[in-house]
Amino acid sequence: MQYNYSNMFIIKILIKSRKISWSFLKNKLNYLITKNKVFNSTSLVVYLAMWLSLFILLTFTRTGVIPLGPVSLNLITFLVILMGIHLGFKGSFFGGIFLGLCSFFGALTFGSFLFIYPLISILPRFILGFFVYFLCKIAQKIVIRYVDAKNQNRAFKVKLISYFFVGAFSALGNTIFVSIGLFTHKLIFGLEAIGSLKAWLSLIWIQALFEFVSIGFLCMIMSGFLYELSSKKSSFLPKNRKW
């Protein structure tokens, strides 16, 4: 919270001159604090609803995964990164849940047999939410430490590298967590359609490498927007998480 010291000086003068009382000031401050909490809670729910609608839209219109020959660009995973940058921990937490639920119900709707199992579709994405937040915190520290308003060229490069790091390793984390969930499900319940780990890696390594580069590059070219998106968090969340 930022204070206007000139206004505070005027308030002190009014209190000393007994133009206003401490009880009046206390009641006014309590009203503003209560109103601010309601505003923050309502705004957070609105933003979460907005992001959830985007997850649903991209999942059930089949526009969230863009086929590009032998590989595909997964924009739905990118939404988790956006939520983590936008809303901090709550964004990445709910982003992981939204991704998992949409993946699960999308699989039931369109018949993707692997992701009808919660251990493959929901749990890995839930873990991914925490991982994305961890990556965002690392990028936050890098940006705070190295971005200098006086050196615009250096600031630009730091932002590019930081957001490429967040995007690339978020995509890689998604691949790793889903693979772990898949083989955990196979170990516990059995899954004959999936062969050995070596066979699985031979199938997904090209897609994993493509997502690592493409999602990282997507975050990199949007670094300016992502930086501004992250700097707005303090305007509607209770705690100042500006970076």
Closest C-alpha among 186, 174, 212 to residue 117: 186
pLDDT at 3 over 50: no
Q: Is 81 exposed, middle or buried (0-12, 13-18, 19+ CB in 10 A)?
A: buried
Q: Which of 2-16, 47-61, 74-88 has the lowest mean pLDDT?
A: 2-16
Of the pLDDT bands very low, low, confident and very high (cuts 50, 70, 90), residue 121 is very high
Q: Which residues contact 163 (CB under 8 A, 6 or more apart)?
A: 139, 219, 220, 222, 223, 226, 227
The architecture (CATH level 2) of 22-235 comes to Orthogonal Bundle (1.10)
Higher pLDDT, 121 or 192: 121
pLDDT attached to residue 232: 59
pLDDT attached to residue 182: 92
